[in-house]
Amino acid sequence: MLQAEAGLLSSVSLVYKNMQALSSTHIKLGQKIKSLRIDLNMSQEDLAFKVGVDRSYMGFVERGEKNPTLMTLLKVARALKIPLKDLFD
C-alpha cells in the first residue's frame, strides 16, 4: 500500500509542476496581449468584439486563467495587427 501511495504522490507532484509551468506560460501570454492592446489604445471590450469572444473571456485570457485555442490566438493577433509569433516574443 505504501508503494502505491508513493507512486500517487509522485504523479500528483508531476501534474502540479506541469500546471505551474502552464500557468506561467498563460500569464506571460496574457500580459503580452494586454500590453499590446493598451499600446493600441484598445479597450478589452473592443478586442473581445474583434476576436468574437465575450469581454469576460478576454479578461480571463489576459490574466492567464484560460487556455485560448490556436484559432482564438490567430484572431487576437489579427485584431492587434501583428503576426501570431509576436504574441510569444
For residue range 9-33, list pLDDT tens digits in order. Answer: 555 555 555 555 568 899 999 999 9
pLDDT of 16 reads 52
Backbone angles phi, psi at 52, to 5 degrees: 90, 30
Domains of the chain plus CATH, in order, are 47-89 (1.10.260.40)
pLDDT > 70 fraction of the chain, expressed in percent and rounded: 75
pLDDT of 17 reads 54
**Does 6 have pLDDT greater than 60?**
no
Task: Give the pLDDT band of residue 85 (cuts 50, 70, 90).
Answer: very high
Q: Are 74 and 80 in contact (CB under 8 A)?
A: no
What string of DSSP letters covers 55-67?
A: HHHHHHHHTT-S-
Cβ–Cβ contacts within 10 Å for residue 64, how many?
Answer: 18
**Residue 10: all three cell numbers together:** 509522485
